[in-house]
Structures are given as C-alpha cells and as structure tokens.
C-alpha cells in the first residue's frame, strides 16, 4: 500500500489565524477518498507542515520540513512509489525557476509521485516520460517563473521609495516602529527602564562567562518576562539576538550597509559591550573559539527534526591522572517518554569526520559580492512595504467595513514576511570572515582538518543525522545535499 504524505505550508504568521492548513489537509484527504484505486494510506506520523515559512527564500527547503522530507527520501526511509500531495506548486517552491524545477525533478527521480491537488496534475517518472510529459514539465517551469517573478517585481517596484526614506534616517527621522523590545515604539530616543534592566542583566551574565543556554535557563527560572508578548519564555536565540545587537550601544545598521550611530539611546557601557564580544579576557579568563564545538547549531535529527544534543561520558581515572572521554550526539527528543525516536547515540568525532568526507565532493561556490546588492534591494522593499502596510492600516481604521482593504492588507503582510525571510537568508550568506579567505580555498581548509565552527558555517547550513540508520545528509547554503554513511566499525577499530 503506497504511503501518501501531505505537505502543507503558509508564509505569513497572520495566516495562522485563518484556515489555510485545514483547507490543505482536507484537499489531501479528499484526493485519497476520490482515488480509491490508488490504495493510498495517509501518513500521520511525519510532520510536513511549514507554518510561516517562506518558499520564496527557500527556507522550507533549507530549514523547513520539506527539506526534512528530501533528506528521508535521500536516505531511503521514505520509499520510492510514495506520494507527496500539495495544494499547488506555489506551496512547494517560489524560488527561481531552475532551482524549483531541479527540486521537483529530484523527487521524481527518487521515485516520488508529486500531485498538485488544485489542478489534479501528477508529476512522476511515468507521466513526465510519457507523450506530453515535456509539455507538462514546461508548464511547471512557467508556473515557477510566474511565482518568482511576482516577488521580484514587487521588490523592484518599491526600491525608489526605500532610498528616499533612508535619506530621512540620516536627518534623524524614525525609520519604523519596529524597534528593539527595550525601546519606546513611538519615540526611538527613549528606552523602557524595566526592559533595559533585563538587557543589562543578560550582558553581565555573559561577561561573567555564562553561555547562551545557561543565561536562557536563568531568565526562565527567575520568571523574567520574555521579549515579546507572544512568547511564553526566553529562548536561546532571543538571548543571542540581544547579545549580538549593536542597538544596545545606540547603533542602527540598515540594509544599505550604513551604520547610524546614536539612533537609539545607549543602554550598556562600552566596557561591557567589548567584554562580551567573545574576544579577550572576561571575568573567567580568556574565551576561545575552540570552546564552541565544530558543528554547533548545525545538527538535527533527520527523522523528527529535533536538534541533535551533545553529550558524552568519561572512563575511569588512570594511574597517571588521565582518563578517556567519549563525546556523542543524540536526538534531543529521543529522551522524552513519548518520543517517536529511539535513544541512539553516535560518536561526535565520527560525525565530524563523516561530514568532512561528504564535503570532499561538495562543489560549492561561495557567494560573490552580489549578495550585498541583493541585501540592499530586499532592504529597500521591506522598508517601503512597511510604509504601505502602515498606510493601509490607517485606511482600514477609517473604512472598517471594507473587505477589499483587509484582503489587500493580508496580501501585503504575506509579501512582507517573504521579504523578511529572504533578507535573513541573504544575511546568512554574507560572510563574516574575509572574502579572500572564503574565495581562496575554504573547502581546502575544511578538508585539511581545520574544523572550527566558524569555517563550517560558511559552507554548511544543516546536518541531518539519522541515528537509527547511522547515516547523515549535509546541506550547503546553495541547497546542495550530500549523503554519507557513518562508519562506526572503522571508528571502533580506531578507538581500540
């Protein structure tokens, strides 16, 4: 009996209040009922829903559950002959047409039957190889082109308005009401005292040598209010965002690359800021980048999508005072009582070695200076679109019973979320290390064994580990996937 997987996605957080997911789920169930001859069984165990995840930026492939689906197809856990049910191709991808088409045909070559439910189109090895298959594929290419062009045109349309607003920032005008949580939304020259106290506490804890995870735990244990009303508790990403934000020293960095000093009020001292830059001395000595393990923040479970947690154990102390240390990775959710994953640990050093082996065949070309230009364009689009949204909300307050205005607002909010996601993707591609080092042989550095976290992050966006099958898939920033088996037998020989 073939297994059918229903992939559901929406881009805007606003859409979470609607019925997008329910509609997509119902369409999948109706398709199975209306096609009993296919004898399909709908899978209910694998999470294939991407909520508020953009397909324009490709986040649903690099970080979302669609990427997880690809990993499972690659490793063979999802068998050939399975079905992937989509509302339409827009849910699958809004990336540039050649990339979107490549992803679609990759699934088809892997034996997956892709069905778009809105127009009942089937993309499989059989349908694309049959008479008229080339025309069907061309239609999908045109559809991908249309979806991507819509977003691209919107970005270009609002460029002029953004440039005008950037000039006003230099004159002291407030750019937007989207400000850090410790800044007054109506007047960016004023801070909020109780929120500033939280920011200072975070920086002081960091200066004392505590890492992001420990700071997060302390804030939650003490019941400190999270940065937004929507959040129920602090997350490590929120803590790191505060520690890495120059807003605390009054600086606004705009998408055009301009640094505006004095835009916000300074809330911490220069000494405290320097002390937490992860360089030089702190209260507990010298911080060393080597303390951050090479694959930190990159490893996930290929089955359930949870983060891979680092652990380990030590052996008995020898007579000379030394002892063996075994470092491991394990699916963080596998320790829960109701987890779908069984507890399986794998040597951390062996995983690093396997990732390096996969990268030997990785034909990755580092992004050029075009990334900076793309950031500028997206930044222009975001600012201008924010103005449009603000103006439209004002119109809605006056014309409360206008459904057309509300529909337009929903549309603009979806576009805004897509642009924010694209901006985040481009910022990940902008390299914090010198361009000369990147273009001068970064892969060679990795292959030669210089495996610090900073270098790994220049190439790798995700490592999906199947702990049960002892395999992993490395995903690069350009979407390239490389699979490899983790040779535990060889590792045991080395350990002996």
- Of 356 and 204, the structure prediction assigns the larger pLDDT to 204
* 14 pLDDT more than 60: no
pLDDT band at 496 (very low <50, low <70, confident <90, very high): very low
* 465 pLDDT more than 80: yes
* Topology agreement, domain 3-157 and domain 172-287: no
Would you kindly state where each structural domain of the chain is located, as residue ranges?
Answer: 3-157, 172-287, 299-365+437-495, 370-427
**Fold designation for 172-287:** Hect, E3 ligase catalytic domain fold (3.90.1750)
pLDDT at 16: 45
pLDDT band at 435 (very low <50, low <70, confident <90, very high): very low
pLDDT digits (tens, 9 = 90+) for 63-89: 788 888 888 888 788 999 999 999 989
- Of 309 and 112, the structure prediction assigns the larger pLDDT to 112
pLDDT at 464: 93
Highest mean pLDDT among 328-332, 373-377, 421-425, 478-482: 328-332
pLDDT digits (tens, 9 = 90+) for 227-253: 988 788 998 888 988 998 889 999 887
Average pLDDT over residues 148-162: 67
Say yes or no: domain 3-157 is CATH 3.40.50.1100. no
* 3-state SS, one letter per residue, for the chain: CCEEEECEEECCHHHHHCCHHHHHHHHHHHHHHHCHHHCCEECCCCCCEEECCCCCCCHHHHCCHHHHHHHHHHHCCCCCCCEEEECCHHHHCCCCHHHHHHHHHHHHHCCCEEEECCCCEEECHHHHHCCCHHHHHHHHHHHHHHHHHHHHHHHHHCHHHHHHHHHHHHCCCCCCCCCCCCECCCCCCCECHHHHHHHHHHHHHHHCCCCHHHHHHHHHHCCCCCCCCCCCCCCHHHHHHHHCCHHHHCCEECCCCCEECCCCCCCCCHHHHHHCCCCCEECCEECCHHHCCCCCCCEEECCCCCEEEEEEEECCCCCCCCCCEEEEEEEHHHHCCCCCCCCCCEEHHHHHHHHHHHHCCCCCCCCCCHHHHHHHHHHHHHHHHHHHHHHHHHHHHHCCCCHHHHHHHHHHHHHHHHHHHHHHHHHHHCCCCCHHHHHCCHHHHHHCCCCCHHHHHHHEEEEEEECCCCEEEEEECCCCEEEEECCHHHHHHHHC
């Amino acid at each position: 009996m073939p297994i059918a997987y229903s992939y559901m996605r929406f881009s805007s957080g606003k859409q979470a209040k609607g019925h997008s997911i329910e509609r997509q789920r119902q369409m999948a169930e109706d398709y199975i009922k209306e096609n009993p001859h296919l004898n399909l069984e709908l899978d209910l165990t694998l999470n294939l829903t991407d909520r508020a995840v953009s397909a324009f930026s490709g986040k649903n492939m690099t970080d979302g559950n669609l990427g997880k689906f690809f990993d499972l197809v690659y490793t063979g856990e999802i068998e050939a002959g399975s079905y992937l049910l989509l509302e339409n191709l827009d849910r699958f991808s809004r990336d540039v047409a050649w990339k979107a088409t490549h992803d679609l045909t990759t699934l088809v070559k892997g034996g997956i039957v892709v069905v778009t439910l809105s127009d009942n189109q089937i993309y499989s090895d059989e349908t694309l190889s049959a008479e008229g298959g080339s025309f069907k594929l061309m239609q999908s290419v045109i559809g991908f082109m249309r979806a991507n062009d819509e977003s691209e045109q919107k970005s270009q349309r609002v460029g002029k308005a953004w440039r005008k607003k950037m000039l006003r920032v230099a004159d002291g005008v407030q750019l937007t009401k989207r400000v850090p949580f410790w800044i007054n939304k109506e007047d960016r020259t004023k801070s909020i005292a109780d929120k500033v106290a939280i920011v200072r506490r975070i920086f002081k804890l960091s200066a004392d040598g505590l890492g992001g995870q420990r700071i997060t735990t302390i804030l939650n244990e003490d019941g400190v209010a999270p940065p937004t009303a929507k959040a129920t508790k602090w997350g490590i990403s929120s803590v790191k965002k505060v520690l890495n934000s120059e807003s605390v020293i009054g600086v606004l960095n705009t998408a055009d690359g301009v640094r505006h000093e004095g835009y916000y009020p300074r809330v911490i001292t220069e000494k405290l800021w320097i002390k937490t830059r992860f360089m030089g001395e702190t209260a507990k000595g010298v911080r060393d980048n080597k303390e951050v393990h090479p694959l930190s923040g990159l490893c996930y479970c290929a089955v359930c999508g949870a983060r891979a947690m680092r652990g380990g154990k030590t052996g008995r102390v020898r007579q000379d005072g030394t002892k063996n240390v075994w470092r491991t990775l394990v699916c963080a959710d596998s320790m829960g009582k109701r987890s779908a994953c069984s507890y399986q640990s794998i040597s951390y050093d062996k995983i690093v070695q396997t990732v390096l082996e996969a990268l030997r065949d990785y034909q990755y070309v580092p992004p050029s200076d075009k990334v900076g230009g793309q950031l500028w364009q997206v930044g222009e689009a975001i600012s201008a679109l924010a103005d449009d949204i603000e103006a439209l909300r004002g119109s809605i307050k006056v014309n409360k019973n206008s459904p057309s205005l509300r529909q337009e607002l929903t549309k603009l909010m979806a576009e805004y979320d897509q642009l924010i996601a694209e901006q985040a993707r481009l910022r990940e591609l902008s390299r914090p290390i010198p361009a000369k080092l990147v273009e001068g042989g970064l892969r060679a550095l990795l292959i030669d064994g210089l495996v610090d976290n900073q270098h790994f992050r220049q190439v790798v966006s995700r490592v999906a580990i199947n702990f049960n099958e002892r395999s992993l898939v490395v995903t690069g920033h350009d979407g390239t996937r490389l699979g490899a088996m983790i040779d535990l037998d060889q590792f045991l020989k080395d350990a002996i």
